Amino acid sequence: MAKPQPAKQKPSGKSLKKIIENRTFIVASRCFVMLVVLILVAIIYYTKVYSDPQRTFWAMVDNNLATNGVTKQTTQQGLAGSTDSITQLVFNPAARVHYIKKVTDKSTKPSSHLTLEGIGTVQADYQRYSFIDRPGSTSNYSSIYNLWLKGDQPTLFGNTVFGAILFGNLRQPQRTDIVNKLRDAYQVEQDTTARQISARTHTYSVTVSLQKYAIAARAYAKVLGLPDADKITPDAYQPTDRAQLVVNVDILSRQLTKIEYKNSNITETYVSYGVSSTVNPPEKTVSNQQFSSALNSIKN
């Protein structure tokens, strides 16, 4: 006759709690290990791939051609004076440029100051004086501050859009073509000796072949539908014509932050991206003759 088997004892409350705690610890440990692995993979990808200097630079060039707009601050210092300007270049809803330029003339004692405002479209330019300060003069120039001059031969948009680094809001095939042409125009070297603004910034020494840049600029102008695209002639430059730049790029955002022109005193700082302009061309303008008459009527 078989002996009866002893009944299995149910785990006590303390034992059950211990089992649950052990399983929770194992799961938490595995999750922690996976999290550490993911963090290490992300760090390796960022340092070895994403933040690679050449990859960062060309991603910036591509991103610049896929933006609604950009705002930059330009400073130029000289013995005779200085110029500071804020320029907004936008492509949506319409291509245009809007700038405010402050000029200081140090040739007078004390210095003279004036502020100009301009709006440029593909079709026309609009400009006005918004402030004039001539020390020693009692003239009041406020009567001409709202007088806008219109130029039917547009230059403002073209002069702004053809910077050392191109901007636009192009479709992918067009963007790829322009970037490939710029790869021929730019010789890019990371400037490891330059002081970094932060760990997020790459600094580059860039040599621009003006002849090859003109090839890219011509194709770019045709994509934008600029009327003077055919007037851009690469053959007007010699193969030895070069421009030297120092370029700063934010690694995380792949955005251009600063350009310094070597052998020049011009610095461009890029302060915002993706902006859309609410500034419209003035509805009322005056002729050159009307402006001159208004200016001459002001007593000196």
Phi, then psi, of 155 in degrees rounded to 5? -130, -25
Output the pLDDT for position 47.
Answer: 53
Of the candidates 64, 72, 80, 134, the one whose C-alpha atom is nearest the C-alpha of residue 101 is 72
Output the pLDDT for position 45.
Answer: 44
pLDDT of the chain, 300 residues: tens digit per residue: 555 555 555 555 556 556 555 666 566 666 655 655 555 544 554 455 567 899 999 999 999 999 999 999 999 888 788 999 999 999 988 889 999 999 999 888 888 999 999 999 988 999 999 999 988 788 899 999 999 999 888 889 988 999 999 999 999 899 999 999 999 999 999 876 554 555 689 999 999 999 999 999 999 999 988 888 889 999 999 999 999 999 999 999 999 999 999 888 899 999 999 877 667 899 999 999 999 999 888 865
Residue 73's Cβ-count burial label (10 Å; 0-12, 13-18, 19+) is middle
Output the pLDDT for position 17.
Answer: 55
How many Cα atoms within 13 Å fall on the side-chain side of residue 255? 14
| Stretch (H or E) spanning 268 | strand 266-273
Output the pLDDT for position 25.
Answer: 56
Output the pLDDT for position 300.
Answer: 54
Please give the model's pTM, rounded to 2 decimal places: 0.80
Name the DSSP letter for residue 142: G
Output the pLDDT for position 200.
Answer: 84
Task: Give the three-state DSSP class for 115.
Answer: strand
CATH match for 63-273 among 2.60.120, 3.40.50, 2.30.30, 2.50.20? 2.50.20
Name the DSSP letter for residue 279: -
